Amino acid sequence: MQLIEVIRGFLNDVWHLPWFFKLGLLAMAISWAWQWQKAQRRKWLERAAAAWPINRARVVSVQVSDEKKEGRNGPRYWEGLLTYSYALPGQELEVGEHRQKFYDAAVASVWARGLQGCFVNVRVDSENPKRSVWLDEEGSVGKAVAEETAERRSIEQCEEGNSRSVAAVAVFAVAGAGAFFALCIQVSCLRGRPLITAEANDGIFFGMHLGAIACLIAAQALLGWKRSHRVTDWFQTAGRSMKPTGPLKWVSGGYAVVFLYAWVRMAAKDGAPEFWGIWMFSAGWLFFYASAARMCWKALTRTEEGDTVS
């Protein structure tokens, strides 16, 4: 099947969808475009600010917000607000601010304490002195993460034996096998001969579903081992721990594309629904099993950098 024919068939299916489906797809596209535009604007500003001259600024205040949530069912986070003041020669005193998102209240608290009453370097636009950016070139966020992580590790090393490592290896092996099998199903679908279908292999189909859920729960629990005595604290950060990074970004992107494509084909009743269904679900299995394996690897190596802030 040629790519042009695939795209043409997809667009034809979208055109024949009910109007409320079209509105839903349009809303998704607008939301994605808005988020992409914000991200690009932030990246552009950071790149432009790298060439601005450095000025010394005094920290006026550092505050950490109350607990918030990303969306209705998203992970919890705390927002740090850094307010600073600076003045250029011959100019009035200016005030700037920087917002930093944290997914760990303890790290946010350490970060805020470390900046209280300090001076920081900020980049100021020489053409517009009112515009400034704090790029954290001193590494305050990294220091806060390292300090809190070191304290937690010392506690964990005193409390835990080898149980965590053994469990993490076991879950990692199961998740890796599940991801490999899901990848094989994806390849077989692309070749037009799915290895399994929900109708003919319902036991394997539901087993892959349950296995993905079990691996995610176990991996998240291992990642939060000894960090909290509250089970809810382990699972409320599941979305954060599954945040795609590195190669997982490509897996996540592929899952989104396959899911949308197959869903439209199924909604339009174009082709065999069992084929589109297994292609769509196996892409999800691949992403979820790979996410569980990644979390187990992080639990094994105790690498928490990049897991507390974004």
pLDDT digits (tens, 9 = 90+) for 163-192: 677 888 999 999 999 999 999 998 888 887
Radius of gyration of the chain (CA): 24
Considering the domain boundaries, does residue 30 fall inside one?
yes
> How many folded domains does the chain comprise?
3
The reply to whether 245 and 269 lie within a common domain is: yes
So what's the pLDDT on residue 4?
A: 74
More confident residue, 25 or 249: 25
**Those residues with Cβ within 8 angstroms of residue 29's Cβ, 6 or more apart along the chain or in another chain:** none
The reply to whether 141 and 266 lie within a common domain is: no
Highest averaged pLDDT of the listed ranges 223-227, 241-245, 272-276: 272-276
Considering the domain boundaries, does residue 309 fall inside one?
no
Round to whole Å and give the CA distance between 196 and 31: 35
Q: Residue 82: is its pLDDT beyond 60? A: yes
10 Å Cβ neighbour count for 196?
A: 19
Mean pLDDT of 75-92: 88
So what's the pLDDT on residue 230?
A: 43
Where b means 16+ CB within 10 Å and e means fewer, 278-291 reads bbbbbbbbbbbbbb
Q: Residue 6: is its pLDDT beyond 60? A: yes
The reply to whether 201 and 294 lie within a common domain is: yes
10 Å Cβ neighbour count for 173?
A: 12
The reply to whether 37 and 168 lie within a common domain is: no
Q: Residue 304: is its pLDDT beyond 70? A: no
**Those residues with Cβ within 8 angstroms of residue 172's Cβ, 6 or more apart along the chain or in another chain:** 293, 296, 297, 300
Residue 86 binned pLDDT confidence (cut-offs 50, 70, 90):
very high
Residue 226 binned pLDDT confidence (cut-offs 50, 70, 90):
very low
Closest by Cα among 115, 126, 114 to 49? 126
Looking at the DSSP bridge assignments, the partners of residue 96 are: 84
Considering the domain boundaries, does residue 307 fall inside one?
no
DSSP 3-state of 89: coil
Considering the domain boundaries, does residue 306 fall inside one?
no
Q: Residue 5: is its pLDDT beyond 90? A: no
Last residue of a domain, one of 157, 183, 203: 157
So what's the pLDDT on residue 231?
A: 42
Round to whole Å and give the CA distance between 232 and 217: 11
Mean pLDDT of 54-72: 87
Last residue of a domain, one of 142, 157, 172: 157
The reply to whether 16 and 74 lie within a common domain is: no
CA 216 centroid distance within chain: 15
The reply to whether 123 and 229 lie within a common domain is: no
The reply to whether 26 and 96 lie within a common domain is: no
The reply to whether 118 and 164 lie within a common domain is: no
What are the C-alpha distances in Å from 215 to residues 26, 190, 210, 303? 34, 26, 9, 19
Q: Which domain holds residue 289?
A: 160-301
The reply to whether 195 and 102 lie within a common domain is: no
So what's the pLDDT on residue 24?
A: 79
Q: Residue 235: is its pLDDT beyond 50? A: no
The reply to whether 127 and 208 lie within a common domain is: no
Last residue of a domain, one of 157, 182, 210: 157
The reply to whether 174 and 226 lie within a common domain is: yes
More confident residue, 2 or 299: 299
The reply to whether 117 and 179 lie within a common domain is: no
Mean pLDDT of 83-99: 89
So what's the pLDDT on residue 238?
A: 47
